[in-house]
Amino acid sequence: MYPNDGFRELGRQECLRLMTKVPVGRIVFTRGALPAVLPVNFGLDDDGAVLLRTSAASDLVRAVEGAVVAFEADDVDAARQSGWSVVVTGSATVVTDAAEHERLARTGPASWVPAPQEAFIRIEPELVTGRELVGGRTLYGVDIGT
């Protein structure tokens, strides 16, 4: 699924629109000099920033604060060998502003595992890339047969 052809590149707005269709993505970061990846539920802010809600005491907060991370979401139909994948790459910060924290507590993603003290992580949408698999059996949604 990674040749240079067989895919259609997606525009930024299309990427952000697709991301709203799935509740879970994966944050990609570095932990102890090793690549790390973790599925998390997420939300999108109005400007396209990825919002995560987690325990303020979590390893994730410590690992990503101030770092450039990637956040991936996808929806792939293996039987049809079709689907899309979007990656948002940018700086991750923990929201410290009280008013902003309060806003996100109301409008941001829900917590799947509530913690005594929660933190919001914001990933800036500095780079938004995505692509649709069109080289498999399915081309733009039209099954062209096996």
Structure tokens at 137: 């059996």
Measured from the CB atom, the residue of 24 and 105 that comes closer to its own copies is 24
Question: Of 9, 11, 57, 143, which one interacts with its own copies (CB under 8 A)?
Answer: 57
Cβ burial 38-51 (10 Å sphere, 16+ → b, else e): bebebbbbeebbbb
Take residue 81 and report the two structure tokens written for it: 């060998």
Q: Which of 9, 11, 13, 23 binds its own copies (CB under 8 A)?
A: 23
Q: Cα 1 vs. chain centroid, distance in angstroms?
A: 19
- Using CB under 8 A as the binding rule, the residues of this chain from 29 to 48 that contact its own copies are 29-30, 34-41
Q: Is 105 an interacting residue with respect to its own copies (CB under 8 A)?
A: no
* Residues between 114 and 133 with contacts to its own copies, criterion CB under 8 A: 115, 127, 133
Check binding of 139 to its own copies (CB under 8 A): no
> Residue 20, interface with its own copies (CB under 8 A)?
no
For residue 13, give both structure tokens. Answer: 């707005």
- Contacting its own copies (CB under 8 A), which of 21, 47, 66, 78? 78
139-143, long-range: CB < 8 A, 24+ apart: 140/8, 141/82, 143/80
What is the torsion angle, in degrees rounded to the nearest 10, for the CA atoms of residue 132, residue 134, residue 137 and residue 139?
Answer: 110
- Positions in the binding site for its own copies (CB under 8 A): 1-7, 23-24, 26, 28-30, 34-41, 54-55, 57-60, 68-70, 72, 74, 76, 78, 81, 83, 85, 87, 89, 112-113, 115, 127, 133, 135-136
